[in-house]
Structure 1
Amino acid sequence: MSFQAMAWAVEQKLPTREKFVLLMLANRTNHDTGRCDPSHRRLADDCGMSASTVKRAIQQLEEDGYLVIENRAFNAVKLPNQYRLCLERGVGSHRTYPVQDEPTVGSHRPEGLGHSDLGVGSHRPIKQEYNQEDKTGSKTEKPCGDLSAPPTKAAVSNKSAKKPKTEPADSDRQEACRMIWSSYATAYFARYRTEPVRNAKINTQVNDLLKRLGSVEAPHVAAYYVTINDSYLIRSCHDLGSLLAKAEAYRTQWATNTQVNGVTARQMENTQANLNAAEQAKAMILEGGQGNAFLRR
């Protein structure tokens, strides 16, 4: 899977049929070579659609300029088409589609995240006012700790020295957030056949997940989380809040490829209880002086 192609596909405003086919093509795009040549049958299985429906969607995507189809053949034998996604194309469409607007969430956005691209919000410069000379010609005396006083070189130097260097650059953080959202949204669409809600609260949760798990593992954990078959998560439709609440636990499940839900947890608990009971019984027999007799039996 190409994360760049997946992030681009997620941002496109398309009807459900074309959007899902485009997402599956991005999922089948090789990250290193850019090769994308799944058969119609393979795409139909990925999308849960008929092959004819997939063909119509691909034709429409080509007409609208989202991809280029390259027909291939070898020794007069037709091979699966080669697809090139037009990643240089920005977000939008040649056609007008009835796309639902994103939910409005107040006028304040979380610091460091925008509403549409999980980017860094703009910061307004703080206007600093300096005391001027009064009418008598004498300078107005500034009180100790006056915030309006211009900072000294020493203060600026100290602030620069204390600034943590572990925070990722803004552009890197934006790209990492996009990757996390793309992985989560793709897995969510594959399971529920609809896109997850995205608003300011979700943007904040994605940024927090990046801080908790890092840019390398967070996208994989987000996609894996949607595949977990747990009654609580299914009832809550695998919301990001539940993922963020136990991010480290889900990361361990992803790393060990072991899904733990209520049933498996009880089974593991019962197994451990039986082992503990057996050990206690053995210790009691040995302490009672019946160890040798027990072993002879």
Structure 2
Amino acid sequence: MSTIIMSQCWPLQQLSVTQKAVLISLADQANDDGVCWPAIGTIAKRCCMSERAVRTAMDHLEAVGLLSRERRFNSSNVYSVTPAKFDASAVGTKAKRKAAKACTAPGAGGASDAGGAPDAVGGAPAAGGPARGAGLEVRPVPPNRHITIIEPSDEPSFPAVLPDAPPVVESETELQAACRAAWTAYAMAYRERHGAMPVRNAKVNANVKQLVKRLGVVEAPQVAGWFLRVNERMVVQGMHDLGLLLARCEAYRTQWATGRQMTATSAQQADQTQSNLSAAEEAKAILAQGRARNAG
């Protein structure tokens, strides 16, 4: 996998959950140039979705510049993930036009084949009456989908592009970026040590956010990645659970900063050394008192 491509894909917005999942799956299998060649079935299994949903998501990613495909005969296609070419303005234009082609293509049953007026559906209007199907709304559908005529409804239709969201506080944006960086550093180190990606759920997300708030946006990602080097018995038995890091994150931050890990053995050695120093100081004090009495 390429951490470079993954880190560029995570912050991208204006994608659906399905489209983002397919994009991250491709980035996870790509090299540093963004090139990979997984089968559609493999992506579908990884993302827990149908192959048709994967193809539809790929069509959209290609339309907005995030993906290019080189189709090969009797073999898996070659995909290039290109997050740097993402055109956010094309989300509601190129992708919509590409889907609309399926509606107006010959044989699709659209106005170009009907032989009637452009606003008629399924043919010319009947004589002396309103156009057949007038007032019906035909919504563009992705390629390889059947065209469905939507019955008129009083419910408002949703725009292809959502209106601009209210401005986000700068500190919150910085916090979100730090949380993504901390999770990426932790997940990559976890996979390298344990051979599998860690589970991510609402509890884990909350732990990551608390970690960033307690250690800061700069040090939290570094400590999260370093944590997988800790060899304490409890931590190793707990498979380096993120909750164990959060419970003692300040102590682990000190160990990371000083380059010294405080294990149970080293703690016992430090305690024994302190005890020896205390005994030596006590012996010196007794000798000094004896000499003072003899001198008197």
Give the structure with higher Rg (CA).
2
Q: TM-score, normalised by structure 2?
A: 0.47
Q: Which has the higher contact order (CA 8 A, sep 6+)?
A: 1
Q: TM-score, normalised by structure 1?
A: 0.47
